[in-house]
Structure 1
Amino acid sequence: MAALLLIGADPAQSSAPAEREAYPSTYAPPPSHPVLIRNATIWDGRGGEQVGDLLMANGTIAAIGTGLAAPADALVIDGTGKWVTPGIIDVHSHVGAGPSPEGYGMDSVGEFSGPVKAEVRIEHGIVVQDPGFSRAAAGGVTVQQILPGSGNLFGGRTVVLKNVPSRTVQGMKFPGAPYGLKMACGEIPTLSYNPADHKYGTLGNAPATRMGNFSIYRQTWIKAQNYARTWRDYDAAVARGDKKTKAPERDLQLETLAGVLNGEIIVHMHCHRADEMALVLDMAHEFGYKVGAFHHAIEAYKIADLLAKEGVCAAMWSDWWGYNMESYDGIRENLGVVHKAGGCAMIHSDHPVSIQHLNQEVAKALAAARKGGLDISRAEAWEWLSYNPAKLLGIADRTGSLEPGKMADVVLWDGDPYSIYTHAEKTFVDGALTADRLDPQFSWVTDFELGQTGEGDRK
């Protein structure tokens, strides 16, 4: 796994065992044919806007301009009065891990056997037959990051998926996308193991306060540093030709944390309060890692300048707040304030229904920001849906914006994407239709939706 130096510490300062990818991506772009969309309003995901044509061919964006010629076998679509955008990337989804409809024994969002569960991987709990994937495609979503839940201080590894039908989770994994580590601060971890408040009761070394949260974080990072150092010493001995040195024993929990320390794994931290986010950043400095993003980040607007300085993203809702004590100080201008401070702002869903209309969530956030006097263009705000998430996930060189040569992850909207009356007419992943509002055959049906047929019902 290649180190992501943009989001990690100097690899010379930490090390981890070389990890062979045990669950490799088998994703292959679906079959596609050339598609030419003519005379549409095009938002490129980087703030640019033009009226023109977009050509998809061989799974990539072949050209953007005016008067483009259609290949002989191309599907030509009249985009007059319609919009074309990059596909939506949701950086905080639990689709497949907490599948809908809900069923006993199907939930793999949170592993509550202890507060430190960095060793688990959400990909091992994803139900690929979840109808939520197709519903998200119908809302213009082309990529999802699936995360474990927030009941643990260290919740486990995330995974980035292309939003396509597949028999296996490996068949959805975005090739080469780095793993993330879900972490959480605040009330949910403290309440998850407090016997007075939660069914799981006490477990060894479980937190009951925010002080307890940070003490366990720090103890765990110290163990991870020692583990990384042990492997670094072993690597140095091998490099010297010492054949007697025995390899350290692998520890899956510490292996993930060492991956964070050497910049291979991105930290995604559930956090609401500004003061607590600042403490987390201090902790990251103490142990030499980088936070990729704070998720939910209800009070991000209070430290927007600090987030911009640190290069840390904020994945936010448009107007969810007040669902617990640490989320009461939310404002609708949150995304806009972070954006105008030079930060990396983005929308996220955290819900199988809101993922279906993230364009409208951005519309609400943008309207609030502009009403509050923040000068943000409509095309610029699409960065919150595609390019900024792609940057955070380490895949912006391949998707997240409409540029020739990039993956043809594209949405054709039947009107203004910020209107409540507009729908995603067609969604393309690598140039292949994954949802077509005008032709239901392109919306896949899962096992959950087929129902059950008894032997006596057969004709």
Structure 2
Amino acid sequence: MRPWWQPTATAAALALLCVSCADSPDSSKTAEQAEPFASQYQPLPSTPTLIKNATLLLGNGERIDNGQLLLVDGKINAVGTNVDAPENATVIDASGKWVTPGIIDAHSHLGVYPSPGIESSEDGNEMVNPDTAYAWAEHAIWPQDPQFPLALAGGVTTLHVLPGSANLFGGRSVTIKNVPARSVMEMKFPDAPHGLKMACGENPKRVYGDKGGPMTRMGNVAGYRKSWIEAQRYRNEWKKYQDVLAAADGDELAVIDKKPERDLRLDTLAAVLDGKILIQNHCYRAEEMAIMIEIAKEFDFEISMFHHAVEAYKVADLLAENQICAAMWADWWGFKHEAYDMIFENIPFVDKASVTKTVDGEPVELKGCAVVHSDSALGIQRLNQEAAKAMAAGNRAGLNIDEAHAMRWLTENPAKAIGIDDKVGTLTVGKNADVVIWDRNPFSVYAHADKVFIDGALMYDRFDAAKQPKTDFDLGLTAGGMR
């Protein structure tokens, strides 16, 4: 019999992972009103847990030495140096260890580019049209991807999975919990907004240059603007219909001839204009980021984050002024022309950017938002080391960045950029108990995640094989095809 954490094993495991329609947050809505593919995630059972005698990095720039952290009912219940725990609490003495929020990878392709990397399972790029905003990454995620448990062992509790960057509009991205599951709905982070993946530069024009375009950066920008014009028109048509419907006291049959035809592509773009979907923009070069900001102003939407952003340091003040995060690598560069002009201080320079604006007659300081991301099935296992490299580069430049501050690049800032910072990203009372216990300073190259909790449930234990999830792919097949 397989342990509880293996997703397709026993009836008990299925009961933990299964959610009935009655439990759905949308169960009170009609079928037409209900959000399609809604989250069916349910936290696994947990017990009150007190972690004591640890160095706590809270994820918001603060550090507590000899700290204590109490997890109760899947939430962070108390943080400090003298915490009272219930009598039935499990007590973990973390002397010499460090504790952080769960790491959040804001740019992942796990599940849509799973292992093994064969053509039949490559589902991240719908390369049929420059605008495939109708495609959703979650519809291609393979929960059995063996890379998920490897990321969990690296302390990653939340992933933002995006389509690839072949298109001007690649489709919707999705935020998921790093838990064993049978379907993507059982992994979806409850109430997390979708993202819309857009891409600048070389990729779209390379893919479509001989397929009718765009073949230049001029064509890229024209393509963005054409789609946003269509989205504005579509959005206005639906607003007019809703006004007519309201005037008819909700009698749909009376105004059925005025109902616009639904378009999945424009649904996504219109939701961006309504502020319901966040723009996640693949963009390397500084001048292209500036152009994308102008497009956002023209069509009155906001960009949440530029991804890869190799030249973000050149426009760090512009990003801070517009409150746009930048997801960056510590030292990947030069693999194509637009990735050439990189510096090792990119992440810390974006982090330290600051702009003062006058709002309602008062000066307001706007600070940079730096994020360390992976874009790699290998890099996601070592995001702590990537942040350490960036911290070291910043300190060599005299920026005086400590571990407590650098942890924000892995937790608080990515949570903000993907719209879940009210739920995770810091060790704050009331937030979800996504927690990692490290065997030492997590910015050490020798650091390992000893234990990983998701919503207070112990999902991974380095010293307990029964708490090391394995997918069906890991387990393989026995002779005759039976497990």
Question: In the TM superposition, what is the alpha-carbon distance from 1:456 to its structure 2 partner?
Answer: 9.0
SS in structure 1 at match of 2:133: coil
Q: Which moved more, 1:19-28 or 1:430-439?
A: 19-28
1:301 to 300, 313, 318: 313
In the alignment, residue 324 of structure 1 is paired with which amino acid? Answer: K
2:289 to 268, 272, 277: 277
- Is 1:403 matched with 2:428? yes
After superposition, the Cα gap between the structure-2 partners of 1:395 and 1:457, relative to the gap in structure 1 and judged at 3 Å, is closer
Return the alpha-carbon distance in structure 1 between the equivalents of residues 58 and 215 of structure 2.
47
SS in structure 2 at match of 1:105: helix
2:142 to 105, 113, 127: 127
Return the alpha-carbon distance in structure 2 between the equivalents of residues 362 and 450 of structure 1.
33
In the alignment, residue 179 of structure 1 is paired with which amino acid? Answer: H
Alignment match, 1:79: 94
Alignment match, 2:48: 34
**Percent identity of equivalent pairs:** 53
SS in structure 2 at match of 1:229: helix
- Is 1:228 matched with 2:235? yes
Return the alpha-carbon distance in structure 2 between the equivalents of residues 161 and 416 of structure 1.
27
- For CA contacts below 8 A with separation 6 or more, give which structure has more relative contact order: 1
Aligned residue runs from structure 1 range 423-442, under 5 A: 423-442=448-467
Alignment match, 2:346: 334
Alignment match, 2:36: 22
1:215 to 214, 222, 231: 222
- Is 1:362 matched with 2:374? no
In the alignment, residue 320 of structure 1 is paired with which amino acid? Answer: W
Alignment match, 2:441: 416
- Is 1:146 matched with 2:161? yes
TM-score normalised to the size of structure 2?
0.88
TM-score normalised to the size of structure 1?
0.92
In the alignment, residue 387 of structure 1 is paired with which amino acid? Answer: E
SS in structure 2 at match of 1:37: strand
Question: In the TM superposition, what is the alpha-carbon distance from 1:70 to its structure 2 partner?
Answer: 3.6
SS in structure 1 at match of 2:184: coil
- Is 1:114 matched with 2:119? no
Return the alpha-carbon distance in structure 2 between the equivalents of residues 32 and 430 of structure 1.
8
Aligned residue runs from structure 1 range 343-358, under 5 A: 343-358=368-383
SS in structure 2 at match of 1:215: helix
2:62 to 48, 52, 57: 48
Alignment match, 2:358: none
Question: In the TM superposition, what is the alpha-carbon distance from 1:424 to its structure 2 partner?
Answer: 0.6
- Is 1:288 matched with 2:300? yes
Deviations 1:207-239 (A, max 9, x none): 111111111111111111100010111111122
1:447 to 455, 463, 472: 472
Aligned residue runs from structure 1 range 56-205, under 5 A: 56-195=71-210, 202=211, 204=212
Deviations 1:280-335 (A, max 9, x none): 10011111111110000000000000000001110001010101001111011111
SS in structure 1 at match of 2:268: helix
Deviations 1:400-456 (A, max 9, x none): 100111100000000011001110111100011121111121111111111222239
Q: Is the 8 A contact 2:143 2:182 kept in 1?
A: yes
In the alignment, residue 162 of structure 1 is paired with which amino acid? Answer: K
Return the alpha-carbon distance in structure 1 between the equivalents of residues 480 and 227 of structure 2.
55
Return the alpha-carbon distance in structure 1 between the equivalents of residues 480 and 377 of structure 2.
34
SS in structure 2 at match of 1:158: strand
SS in structure 1 at match of 2:477: coil
Question: In the TM superposition, what is the alpha-carbon distance from 1:68 to its structure 2 partner?
Answer: 2.5
In the alignment, residue 238 of structure 2 is paired with which amino acid? Answer: W
Q: Is the 8 A contact 2:108 2:374 kept in 1?
A: yes
Alignment match, 1:199: none
SS in structure 1 at match of 2:243: helix
Question: In the TM superposition, what is the alpha-carbon distance from 1:75 to its structure 2 partner?
Answer: 2.0
Return the alpha-carbon distance in structure 2 between the equivalents of residues 53 and 278 of structure 1.
44
After superposition, the Cα gap between the structure-2 partners of 1:456 and 1:187, relative to the gap in structure 1 and judged at 3 Å, is closer
Alignment match, 1:7: none
Return the alpha-carbon distance in structure 2 between the equivalents of residues 231 and 270 of structure 1.
30
- Structure 1, unaligned runs of 5 or more: 1-17, 196-201
- Structure 2, unaligned runs of 5 or more: 1-31, 354-366
Return the alpha-carbon distance in structure 1 between the equivalents of residues 402 and 427 of structure 2.
17
In the alignment, residue 73 of structure 1 is paired with which amino acid? Answer: N
After superposition, the Cα gap between the structure-2 partners of 1:220 and 1:456, relative to the gap in structure 1 and judged at 3 Å, is closer
Deviations 1:25-66 (A, max 9, x none): 000111111211111000110111012111111111111122
Alignment match, 1:15: none
Return the alpha-carbon distance in structure 2 between the equivalents of residues 290 and 157 of structure 1.
16
Question: In the TM superposition, what is the alpha-carbon distance from 1:392 to its structure 2 partner?
Answer: 1.3
